[in-house]
Amino acid sequence: MGQASHRNSIFVTGAASGIGAATAKHFASKSWFVGLYDIDEVGLAEIASEIGSENCTSGLLDVRDRTQWAAAMESFSAATGGQMHVLFNNAGIGRHGWFEDIAPEESDAIIDINVKGVINGVYAALPLLKPTKGARIVNVASTAGFVGSPQLAVYVASKFAVRGLTEALELEMEPLDIKVTSLAPWFVDTPILDMGQTTNSNHKMSDDLEAAGAQIYPVSLAAEGAWEAATGTKTHYGVGKLSNQTRFLSRYLPGFMKRRIRKSMPPRGD
């Protein structure tokens, strides 16, 4: 475990793959000390080995479990001298399909991880964020947090919640010198695109995106967006031109946006 009290530090959930792993490596490349936390022990070990033990600490974390959050904060605090410059609330899951085809238990998991997991992270990290000058919380939302997307209804709801939480906390935390922002990616080449109706579904969202010729951005672009969200002055940060375009259209031309979405919808069965 590296001692990093003299360095900027970031705590990353969902760090074993996708945006979390890319962000961890990006910040490490800029000499930040990184906390890697995930439920994927093998993936964590690979990222930690790549970054180097002197640049990170790691541990298992199910973001639904407050006891695990407390243990993760204890280990991170020991490595950083009680400081945390950025909490990167990234862990998330999704399910893709018509609302009634996704089991209620799957929808429960989306809310528990994507919403409650973020809230748990803020509660757990505040004791480290408060004494750290210029600390920041970056919550990973989605372009789906700005526009309703068919076949992603509960995932959309979870990301709207993250967006709202971010905007409220930004105002609440300002007197504490804690900036709160969100990262709202368009489709990014990460494992979450493999979402189906269930965990082991053979039909994946990536199949539909490929068939539709949808634009998918590289995960490196999301890591660069995370850096902007951790250092910039805005509240929400997109990833990719289509993210910013969609957010603009949903705000200023909602009727046009709805018509565009309806045209792109696949036909429904009975």
Active site residues: 155
Task: Spell out the residues 6+ positions from residue 110 whose beta carbon is closer than 8 angstroms to its own.
Answer: 93, 94, 95, 154, 155, 158
DSSP 8-state secondary structure symbol assigned to residue 6: T
Q: What size, in residues, is the chain? A: 270
Displacement of CA 36 from its chain's centroid (Å)? 14
Decide if 122 contacts 89 (C-beta within 8 A).
yes
Decide if 104 contacts 154 (C-beta within 8 A).
no
- In angstroms, the CA 223 to CA 15 distance is 12
Task: Kindly list the strands in the beta sheet with 135-140, ordered across the sheet, starting from the edge strand earlier in the chain.
Answer: 56-60, 33-38, 9-13, 86-89, 135-140, 178-185, 236-239
Rg over alpha carbons for the chain, rounded to the nearest Å, is 18
